[in-house]
Structure formats: structure tokens, C-alpha cells
């Protein structure tokens, strides 16, 4: 890839999707209306809406959604005039026939198809289908701290071949530090024909720094949530990123005051607590475990009378991936047994 | 299939054959065996040979080898039903014998769908390398074999840039062999070298054709190629998105030219020679998108995202095919796009 | 239990890939079955070479091999592809040969050996559903049998990345839909969801399947008893089918989880997902053999 002017970045706002984990997917209609309106007014380019694990992911495994997918999309669409409506889709959770097909009837513009960072070939069908429908398809590589830059490029090349118009590297565990970002985002930016994006989490306090590093390394898309709304230590704080890019002379097309207003709305009307790096979140990041497991781990720790930090380290040792919430229960039970046996 | 589409194809065949089919006379009463017989190339060879048989009594027999012959029957029943076309259901990797009466072989088995190259690289490489080996080996025992055309790929020329301009057959392209993106071109290069080895050892008559890009009937709109995407989006009223700066230069050959050139290479191609199979008329992605929009009367917006700098040029230099085989492009890009749109408009309806 | 028959039931294996080769080893070990032909499309394939060294007759003629010699077998294991099975099925039916379909063709009824093996014996074609299905449907069935009302059943399977080939990966949607259908059919519950995760960890993980349910008036003891019995039943033909989370009520849901380690006959032991279908298919064939001895077949 040749010289790219470091002057424009597309912000993908995942407040109403990744943020959902923080509320155990109990986002209400009022929440969606209030935030969608505010994000749209602020000029946020893409507003992603849905269950924390995306379309069709309302489940006993990850958590049941208060609103069903159609309701969420319908509500969001009605309140987004200029912003594009995006969804997150994980093959293995969502199927084309049952889930993706109808999403387009609700006015979805952007579909981000996600897989674990080594399993991109499961996204072929969903990406192709989205492109056939004329909508924007991006590929997402989740838990990307778990693979080398060479593997990530290989997987991203697959997504590119399927018709993905961008590949987003997710730091789903909040495990990256800036030098990792420079290396991985840089490698992909240099070898892909499509833009690279980055999605940060704050378990090690690096979300903003990582997002800035990503852009330095060539990323043209950055994810964030208002006030960092998200499970555990939360995501990259959207309004801080906007401010940061303002300082660095990077165009986002987002109005500073209005995005700050949007963050205030989330803080006052949607969040139950402002995310911070708790002991458990820190351990989660160190163990390299999916940050969306936070509430499940806390619950299981209480239920089985074990230390949540132990659960996280054990999950990390087992190299558990996103979508494997059932292992949390198994690990908690095992730790309980071990405790009883002294 | 709509009658007028079939008529369009017939007139396409008529156009490339021209006033006289003399140049293809060597095919009269001969047997041609096509691997990958039911794909894009195989189907067009079938159309052109059918035209020659119906219009000029060529009496040419076609054997089409494919893994899924039922799909051919569904796609083109008017061809599948013909008595001069025989379908053989087999994977090219399993071929031990080729019917003894075969005089010509077109080895077109292999998919240029780069999604498959990524998702199933092992099967793709095996199909190309082993498949080619099986065919060449079986061909060595044929008593009346006159020529084989090995369909390679223009991708073997590797990374090209604007400075070179169009690509001649003597360009030794560079391919990063330890990259997954080299799966298809590297396997094709190996196959070319294998053909060379068979020619050297057995004097097996083999020529190589290196296809560039094509647009026309019997292609599939879901293939993830730029022009296919543009047509699909233009016909469905969706935004035509170009991620790069729109400046990559490509060329597109219409398949009737492709089929005619292949048959000419088959009857007159010289062993050991590689021939480009593509159009020499380059056009930027930006311009082709505009052309597609105009030809389809589409309301689609064209958005050039400028998110990637791309100066690449992938255009065929046709000096060799012109000077040695007298081959020219009969269908200019405007007609190619126009006819393609007519075809795909019908396909999308169904 | 009938005595061991003097003459084993002849089976042919159609499809010489990894699944077929693993089945071959299982058939060779069986007291009820004998492999009369191992059929592929290429004599140079690894599977065929192996079969030859094991002293088994081979052919590269595909279904033609059976058409040329219809008395060679009573049962065919078809592990080719859905497309091919659609061609094979009517041919086998016409020859009066029973087809055990390990492809996603789904032409015949779904078969779960621990549940409906006997009723499948009346047919000419049985389908082995999916790996997640074989692991979870027996548990879903017990839910249906022991509980007054089951509102919803969810099945989550996690398999090693290495055990999911290109075919599986391209057809995840179909896997999900088939598994959900099977769960609904055998449990009697109309709402179901199937989820599949791939995990690339090394050393490779064994297949794990967790079943969740929403049961309004839960009778946990009955469920636990029923599950324990069912697990034992399954272990008769899948020896390392292990209950790792016994039926538990927590967090407003019923949860139970099983882990399947493969037998390692030919497929690696982490491919419990592939092994469980093969074991189930063998169980079906052996039941046919037993029934024949009984005079039913």
C-alpha cells in the first residue's frame, strides 16, 4: 500500500452493541432512541446496534436480550438520519436464513462479520451474502491478541477475497499494548488492498493509546463507545478518541460538543456504572480472556463461592475464545471442587 | 433460457467466426475433450462448437469432463441435450484414461475463484497440480492427439506496475511464494512447467493459454471481481463502491473472442509456446464503473473511497497472438459491457 | 442378547476420505460387521492404500462398484457428499441395500441410536444428522421425557479448529439449522437454538457440548436420573462420552455439559465431533445386523 494521508478516520460507534454486554443485553427502546438520536446529531458515521454478540446471539449461553433483533434495528433505524446503521454478525451464532436475511429489511447498511482471529473462512458465506445485497461488508478478527501478525494477515486476506471492504482487528480481551498494535495493524495495512480498523478495550488502561497507535500504523477505522460503555473495563472512550484526533489533526466528521452530549446521555440514562479497571477486569486483560465474560465470571464466582480472578486465569490458561461462556460454569465448578478437597 | 439471449450468443459466435470458418477446419470431424467442461470456458467452447456443427456441419464431438454434470443440465439444457456433446462425470484428479478417440484437449479444470483459493488452498493446489499431471499422463497414450491447450493464468505474471504497461508472454513475473495469495498462480506456474516437462519427454503437443479478465454471459455475478460487482450493484440500484482510488488498470475480453482464440490456439498453436488470452485495451476501474452505470441506465451512485493507493496494471499485450495466429479482439469493451448487462439483467430477474 | 452370529453382515463404505477410513477401522473391530468393499474414486488415495494393506477389497468405481455387484453388501455407509448421496440413495434403495447417510443430504429419517434405533430398522435410509446433534439430542430427548413442559432448548458445541474442515466451515448455517431441527424433533420442544464455536488451542481440545433449557416446573432429580441413564446408554457405543457438568439449575436456566473424546481409530482423538457420528453410524449398522440374526431383517 502506498502513502495514505493520515487525515481521515471513520469512527464506528459500538455503544449500542458492544456496550450491551455491560447491561447484560437489557438495552431498552428508550436507550436506543436517546443514543441513536444523539449519535446521529453528532455526525457519527456508523452506529452499530444489537446484542453484545451480535445478530441472533440472544441466548442462554451469552445472555437473553430484552428486545429482539428486529425491534432494536427498527428503533435505531427510525432515529438515524445521516448515520449508517451497522450490525455485528458471528457465523456460528447467526445464520443467513434466520437472521441476516431480515436484517436488510430493517435498513441495515453495514454488516461486520466476525470470527475468532484464526477462523476467517467461516465468514465467507455471510460476507458474500451481504455484498450480493449491495450492502457494506467488513470482516472482523476477534481476540486478535491470540495470533501473530502473519496469521492475522493470512486470515485478513481470506476476508478480503470474500469481498470484505475492510478488516477490523479486535482487542476483545483488552490485552494489547501500543507496540503490539503498531506491529499488527502496520503489517495488515501494508499488505491488504482494503482498509484496516481497530477495536480497543481498556482492561490494561491502553484503549486510547492503542487507538492512536492504530491510526499511526495506518488504520482508517476506529471503534469506540460513549463514555467507554462496555463490560469490564469498557471500550475505547469514543469522545476521548474524537478529541484526541482533533488534537492530532485527524478528520472524523464528528462534532465535539454533540458527541460529548451523547456521552453525557449514556452516563446519565443508560449506564449503571462508569467503567473502570477493577481488579477483576485487570486480571481479565492479563489473562487474555474475552472482556465480555466479565459479568458471567462475577456471577459464577458468587454462585460457586470461588475467586473470580482464579476463574479468569484458568480460562486464559485454557485459551478459551469468545462464545465459550459455558466454560465459565465448568471452571467455577472445578475450582469449587478443588477448594472443597482442600 | 430466454430465446433472445440464446440468439445473442448465436450471433456472438457468428461474429467471431466471421464470413468463413476455414481457420478452424482442422476441427472438422474431430473429438475435443474439455476438462472443467461445464465451467465458463467449457460452456463457451460448447456454444462455439455447436454453432460450427449446426451452421457449417463440422461434425465435431465434444467430451465435457466435470465433477457436477447435473448443474450443466440445469444451466444449459439446450447444450446438455445435444448428441454431439457428451458429459463425463469425474474429478480431474482421478482421471486415468482419456477416451482413445480424442484428438484435442482443452485443460480448463481449475477455479479462478479466489475465495476458494483462500478457503481451501490445499484442494485448489492439488486440483491444479495433480489434475494437470493426470491429464498429461493420460494424454501420452492417445494415438491421434494433435494438440493440448493448458489453460494457465495471467496471474502468473505476478505483481505488475504502471511502468511496464501491457504484459508480453516473456515477462517472468515475481510471485512471493510463501504467501497464501500465491496459491493459485504458483500452482499454475508449476502446471506450465509440468507441461514443458511432458513436451520435452514425450513430445506431447502442449500449448499454454494465459487468461486475463473476462466479462460476459455464463459468468456468475457473485464472483468477487470488480466488474461483476459493479454490474450487480448497478442492476440492483445499490451503490457502486470502489475502495481504492479507482486507478487500477484492467482489460476485459468478451467470451466469444475467448472461445474463438482458444480454438485457434488449439488447432494452430505451436507446442511449447505460451499465448496471452485477453484484451489489450486497458481501462481504469473508475472508467469501467462509469461505463457499466451508463450502459445499464442505472441510478446507482459511484463512490470512490480513496482508501487504498493502487497503480497496478493487468493488461495483455497481444503482439504475439496477432503476429503468429492473426488473432484480434472482435468485441470492443462497450459492446462487451452492453451485452453482459443484457445477460445479467435477465439472470437477476430469476 | 443373541449369540455372536457365525456370518457377519456385509457392509460397504462409499467414500475413501478420512471419515470412511475411520469407519473402516471400526467395522474391522466389530463382531457384527465385515467390510466387503471400500470404495473411492481414486486408487491412489490414502484411504484406499490403507484399506489394501488391511486386506480389504477396494474399488475406484464409486457407486458403480455396487451396481456391478449388488450382492456384495447389505448396508452402505455413504460418506461422500450431500450431492453425491442424492444420486446414490435411489440406486441403493432400488437394490434393496440400506443406506446409512453420513452426509448432510438428509433424505432419510434422523437417527439417534440411543433413542430411535429400532424404528429406523424399518427404513432403507437413515441420516446421522450432525456431530452436535448426536451429542446433544439424547440430552434434549431426556428433557422432553422427564419434564412436564420445556419452553426452550439451546445447544452450544465447541470443537477443535483442526477437526472442522473446509466443508464444515462453508456450511455452518446448515449445521445449525439441522441440529436445531433434530433437537426440536426429539425433544418435542418447538423452540431451539444451536451455536457452534471453533477453538484453535493447541493441544487440540475435545468436543464439548453444553445443553441449556428453560423449564418452568423443573423436576431436577428426574432429569438427573434420566440423564445418567442416557449417558450410560451412549457410552455403549461412544465410550468416552463424559458428563462434565451434571444437570444443574443456576442463573434461571438448566445447564448440563458433555465432552466427547474420539476413539482415535484413524481420526485423531480430538475429533470427537467426527467420531461420535461414526460411532453412531456403526451402532446403527450393528443393530441391523442383530435384527437380521433375530430374523427381522
Residue A1 has pLDDT above 70, yes or no: no
Mean pLDDT of A299-322: 97
pLDDT at B172: 84
C-alpha cell at B313: 496494471
Are the beta carbons of C163 and C261 closer than 8 angstroms? Answer: no
In angstroms, rounded to a whole number, what is the distance separating the alpha carbons of residues A219 and A204?
21
- CB-CB: which of B68, B94, B120 is closest to C41? B94
Residues with Cβ < 8 Å from B285, sequence gap 6 or more? B226, B242, B244, B246, B247, B248, B250
Domain C9-128+276-294, CATH among 3.40.50.720, 3.40.1280.10, 3.20.20.80, 3.40.47.10:
3.40.50.720
> Which of C152, C170, C193 lies nearest to residue A124, judging by beta carbons?
C170
Instruction: Check pLDDT > 50 for residue B222.
Output: yes
How big is the CA angle at B205 (ends B204 and B208), to the nearest 5 degrees? 120
Mean of pLDDT values over A107-119: 97
Q: What distance in Å separates the CA atoms of residue A176 and residue A286, rounded to the nearest whole number?
A: 10
B touches which chains (3+ CB pairs under 8 A)?
A, C
Contacts of A122 in chain C (CB under 8 A): 169, 172, 198
Task: Please judge whether B224 and A1 are an interchain contact, meaning their C-beta atoms are less than 8 angstroms apart.
Answer: no
Alpha carbon distance C159, C136 (integer Å): 14
Pairing of strands C75-78, C192-199: unpaired
pLDDT category at B348 given cuts 50, 70, 90 is confident
All partners of chain C with 3 or more CB pairs under 8 angstroms? A, B
Give dist(CA B215, CA B258) in Å, integer: 10
Angle, nearest 10°, between helix axes A178-191 and A149-162? 40
Query: What whole-number distance in Å separates Cα of residue B180 and Cα of residue A155?
Result: 10
Q: For residue C3, is pLDDT > 90?
A: no
Catalytic residues of A, by residue number, are 21
Determine the Cα–Cα distance for residues B73 and A141; give it in Å rounded to an integer: 40
Where does chain C hold its CATH 3.40.50.720 domain(s)? 9-128+276-294
Pairing outcome for strands C9-14 and B283-284: unpaired
CATH number, domain C131-270: 3.30.360.10
Q: What whole-number distance in Å separates Cα of residue B268 and Cα of residue A171?
A: 59
Predicted local distance difference test score (pLDDT) of residue C293: 78
Indicate yes or no: CB of C170 within 8 angstroms of CB of B93. Answer: no
C279 is catalytic: no
Q: CA-CA distance, C93 to C81, in Å (whole number)?
A: 17
Q: What is the pLDDT of residues A143-175, one digit of tens each?
A: 999 999 999 999 999 999 999 999 999 999 999
pLDDT confidence of residue B349: 81
Closest CB to A303: pick one of C198, C212, C250: C250
Cβ atoms of A317 and A286 within 8 Å: the answer is: no
User: What ipTM did this prediction achieve?
Assistant: 0.95
For the domain covering A10-270, report its CATH number. Answer: 3.20.20.70
Q: Is the peptide bond before C122 cis (omega within 30 degrees of 0)?
A: no
Per-residue b/e over A199-232, b at no fewer than 16 CB within 10 Å? bbbbbbbbbbbbbbbbbebbbbbbbbbbbbbbbb
Shortest CA gap B309–chain A (Å): 5
Distance from CA of A130 to the nearest CA of C (A): 15
pLDDT on residue B160:
64
Grid coordinates of C253: 436456566
Residue B233 vs residue C292, higher pLDDT: B233
3-state secondary structure of A170: strand
The cell for B266 is 488449439
Segment (H or E) for B85: strand B85-89
pTM summary value: 0.93
> Distance of CA A34 to CAs A216, A255, A264, C46, C270, Å?
33, 17, 11, 62, 49
Each residue's pLDDT tens digit, B277-308 = 999 999 999 999 999 999 999 999 999 999 99
pLDDT value of residue C292: 83
Q: Give the fold, CATH level 3, of A279-340.
A: Helicase, Ruva Protein; domain 3 (1.10.8)
| pLDDT digits 0-9 by tens, C201-244 | 999 999 999 999 999 999 999 999 999 999 999 999 999 999 99
**Structure confidence at residue C2 as a pLDDT band (50, 70, 90):** low
Q: What average pLDDT does this structure show over C116-139? A: 93
Chain B residues touching residue C169 (CB < 8 angstroms): 119
How far is it, in rounded angstroms, from Cα A314 to Cα A310? 6
Residues of chain A with CATH 3.20.20.70: 10-270
The C-alpha atoms of residue B106 and residue C251 are separated, in whole angstroms, by 64
Which chains have at least 3 CB atom pairs separated by less than 8 Å from chain A?
B, C
Q: What is the pLDDT of residue C1?
A: 57
pLDDT at C297: 46
Q: What's the rounded Cα separation, in Å, for the pair B1 and B41?
A: 19
A/B interface, count of CB pairs below 8 Å: 61
Q: Which residues 29-58 of C have a C-beta within 8 angstroms of B? A: 41-42
Nearest to A125 among C173, C177, C198 (CB): C173
Residue pLDDT, tens place only, C264-294: 999 999 999 999 999 999 999 999 999 887 7
Structural domains in chain B, sorted by start: 3-215+253-280+313-332 (3.40.50.720)
pLDDT at residue number B1: 74
Interface test mutation site (partner C, options B74, B94, B95, B119, max chain C beta carbons within 10 A): B94
* Helix/strand/coil for B235: helix
B53 touches chain A (CB under 8 A): no
Whole-angstrom distance, CA of residue A303 vs CA of residue C255: 14
Residues of B in contact with A193 (CB under 8 A): 243-244, 308, 310
Pairing relation of β-strands B252-253 and B213-214?
A: parallel
DSSP A274-302: -----HHHHHHHHHT--GGGHHHHHHHHH
Is residue C147 within 8 A of residue C223, CB to CB? The reply is: yes
Amino acid at each position: 500500500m502506498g502513502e495514505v494521508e493520515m487525515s481521515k478516520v471513520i469512527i464506528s460507534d459500538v455503544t449500542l452493541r458492544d456496550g450491551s454486554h455491560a447491561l447484560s443485553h437489557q438495552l431498552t427502546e428508550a436507550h436506543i432512541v436517546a443514543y441513536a438520536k444523539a449519535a446521529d446529531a453528532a455526525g457519527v458515521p456508523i452506529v452499530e446496534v444489537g446484542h453484545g454478540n451480535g445478530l441472533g446471539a440472544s441466548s442462554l449461553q451469552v445472555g437473553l436480550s430484552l428486545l429482539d433483533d428486529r425491534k432494536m434495528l427498527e428503533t435505531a433505524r427510525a432515529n438515524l438520519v445521516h448515520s449508517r446503521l451497522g450490525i455485528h454478525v458471528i457465523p456460528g451464532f447467526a445464520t443467513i436464513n434466520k437472521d441476516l436475511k431480515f436484517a436488510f429489511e430493517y435498513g441495515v447498511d453495514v454488516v461486520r462479520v466476525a470470527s475468532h482471529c484464526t477462523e476467517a473462512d467461516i465468514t465467507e458465506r455471510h460476507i458474500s451474502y451481504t455484498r450480493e445485497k449491495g450492502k457494506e461488508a467488513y470482516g472482523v478478527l476477534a481476540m486478535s491478541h491470540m495470533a501473530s501478525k502473519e496469521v492475522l494477515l493470512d486470515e485478513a486476506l481470506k476476508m478480503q477475497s470474500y469481498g470484505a471492504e475492510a478488516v477490523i482487528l479486535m482487542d476483545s480481551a483488552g490485552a494489547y499494548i501500543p507496540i503490539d498494535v503498531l506491529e499488527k495493524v502496520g503489517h495488515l495495512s501494508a499488505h491488504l488492498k482494503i482498509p484496516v480498523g481497530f477495536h480497543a478495550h481498556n482492561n490494561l488502561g491502553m484503549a486510547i493509546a492503542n487507538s492512536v497507535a492504530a491510526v499511526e500504523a495506518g488504520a482508517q477505522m476506529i471503534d469506540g463507545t460513549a463514555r467507554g460503555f462496555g463490560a469490564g473495563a469498557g471500550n475505547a472512550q469514543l469522545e476521548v478518541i474524537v478529541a484526541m484526533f482533533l488534537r492530532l489533526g485527524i478528520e472524523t466528521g464528528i462534532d465535539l460538543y454533540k458527541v460529548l452530549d451523547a456521552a453525557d446521555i449514556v452516563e446519565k440514562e443508560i449506564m449503571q456504572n462508569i467503567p473502570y479497571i477493577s481488579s477483576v477486569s485487570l486480571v481479565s486483560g492479563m489473562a487474555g480472556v474475552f472482556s465480555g465474560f466479565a459479568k458471567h465470571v462475577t456471577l459464577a464466582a458468587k454462585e460457586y463461592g470461588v475467586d473470580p480472578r482464579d476463574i479468569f486465569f484458568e480460562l486464559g490458561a485454557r485459551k478459551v475464545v469468545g462464545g465459550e461462556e459455558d466454560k465459565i460454569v465448568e471452571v467455577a465448578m472445578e475450582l469449587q471442587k478443588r477448594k472443597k478437597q482442600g | 433460457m430466454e430465446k433472445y439471449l440464446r440468439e445473442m450468443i448465436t450471433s456472438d459466435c457468428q461474429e467471431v467466426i466471421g464470413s468463413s470458418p476455414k481457420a478452424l477446419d482442422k476441427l472438422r470431424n474431430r473429438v475435443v475433450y474439455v476438462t472443467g467442461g461445464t465451467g465458463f470456458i467449457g460452456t463457451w467452447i460448447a456454444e462455439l462448437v455447436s454453432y460450427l456443427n449446426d451452421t457449417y456441419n463440422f461434425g465435431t464431438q465434444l467430451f465435457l469432463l466435470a465433477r457436477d454434470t447435473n448443474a450443466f443440465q440445469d444451466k444449459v439444457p439446450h447444450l446438455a441435450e445435444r448428441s454431439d456433446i457428451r458429459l463425463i462425470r469425474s474429478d480431474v484428479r482421478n482421471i486415468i484414461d482419456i477416451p482413445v478417440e480424442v484428438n484435442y484437449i482443452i485443460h480448463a479444470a481449475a477455479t479462478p475463484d479466489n475465495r476458494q483459493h483462500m478457503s481451501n488452498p490445499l484442494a485448489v493446489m492439488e486440483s491444479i497440480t495433480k489434475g494437470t499431471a493426470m491429464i498429461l499422463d493420460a494424454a501420452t497414450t492417445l494415438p491421434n492427439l494433435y494438440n493440448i491447450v493448458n489453460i494457465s493464468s495471467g496471474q502468473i505474471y505476478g505483481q505488475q506496475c504502471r511502468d511496464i504497461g501491457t504484459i508480453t508472454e516473456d515477462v517472468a513475473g515475481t510471485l512471493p511464494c510463501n504467501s497464501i495469495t500465491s496459491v493459485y498462480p504458483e500452482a499454475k506456474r508449476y502446471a506450465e512447467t509440468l507441461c514443458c516437462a511432458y513436451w520435452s519427454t514425450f513430445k506431447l503437443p502442449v500449448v499454454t493459454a494465459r487468461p486475463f479478465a473476462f466479462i460476459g454471459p455464463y459468468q456468475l455475478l457473485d464472483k468477487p471481481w470488480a466488474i461483476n460487482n459493479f454490474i450487480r450493484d448497478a442492476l440492483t440500484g445499490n451503490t457502486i463502491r470502489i475502495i481504492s482510488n479507482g486507478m487500477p488498470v484492467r482489460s476485459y475480453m468478451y467470451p466469444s473472442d475467448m472461445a474463438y482464440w482458444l480454438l485457434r490456439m488449439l488447432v494452430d498453436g505451436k507446442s511449447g509456446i505460451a499465448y496471452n488470452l485477453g484484451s489489450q485495451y486497458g481501462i481504469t476501474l473508475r472508467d469501467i464503473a462509469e461505463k457499466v452505470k451508463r450502459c445499464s441506465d442505472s441510478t446507482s451512485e459511484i463512490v470512490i473511497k480513496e482508501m487504498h493507493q493502487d497503480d497496478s496494471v493487468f493488461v495483455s499485450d497481444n503482439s504475439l497472438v496477432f503476429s503468429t495466429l492473426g488473432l484480434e479482439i472482435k468485441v470492443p469493451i462497450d459492446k462487451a459491457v452492453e451485452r453482459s448487462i443484457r445477460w445479467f439483467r435477465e439472470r437477476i430477474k430469476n | 442378547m443373541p449369540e455372536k452370529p457365525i456370518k457377519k453382515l456385509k457392509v460397504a463404505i462409499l467414500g475413501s476420505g478420512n471419515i470412511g477410513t475411520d469407519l473402516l477401522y471400526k467395522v474391522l473391530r466389530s463382531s457384527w460387521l465385515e467390510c466387503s468393499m471400500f470404495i473411492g474414486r481414486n486408487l491412489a488415495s490414502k484411504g484406499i492404500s490403507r484399506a489394501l494393506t488391511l486386506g480389504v477389497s477396494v474399488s475406484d468405481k464409486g457407486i458403480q462398484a455396487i451396481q456391478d455387484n449388488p450382492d456384495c453388501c447389505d448396508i452402505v455407509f455413504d460418506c461422500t457428499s450431500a450431492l453425491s448421496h442424492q444420486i446414490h440413495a435411489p440406486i441403493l434403495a432400488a437394490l434393496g441395500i440400506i443406506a446409512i447417510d453420513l452426509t448432510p443430504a438428509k433424505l432419510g429419517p434422523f437417527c439417534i441410536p440411543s433413542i430411535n434405533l429400532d424404528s429406523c430398522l424399518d427404513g432403507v435410509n437413515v441420516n446421522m444428522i450432525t456431530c452436535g446433534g448426536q451429542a446433544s439430542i439424547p440430552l434434549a430427548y431426556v428433557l422432553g421425557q422427564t419434564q412436564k413442559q420445556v419452553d426452550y432448548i439451546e445447544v452450544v458445541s465447541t470443537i477443535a479448529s483442526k477437526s472442522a474442515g473446509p466443508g464444515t466451515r462453508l456450511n455452518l448455517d446448515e449445521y445449525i439449522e439441522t441440529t436445531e431441527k433434530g433437537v426440536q424433533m426429539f425433544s418435542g420442544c418447538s423452540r431451539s437454538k444451536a451455536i457452534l464455536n471453533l477453538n484453535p488451542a493447541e493441544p487440540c481440545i475435545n468436543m464439548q457440548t453444553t445443553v441449556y433449557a428453560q423449564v418452568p416446573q423443573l423436576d431436577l432429580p428426574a432429569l438427573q436420573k434420566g440423564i445418567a441413564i442416557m449417558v450410560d446408554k451412549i457410552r455403549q457405543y461412544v465410550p468416552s462420552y463424559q458428563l462434565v457438568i451434571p444437570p444443574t439449575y443456576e442463573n434461571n436456566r438448566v445447564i448440563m455439559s458433555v465432552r466427547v473424546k474420539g476413539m482415535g481409530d484413524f481420526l485423531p482423538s480430538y475429533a470427537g465431533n467426527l467420531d461420535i457420528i461414526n460411532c453412531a453410524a456403526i451402532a446403527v449398522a450393528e443393530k441391523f445386523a442383530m435384527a437380521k440374526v433375530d430374523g427381522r431383517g
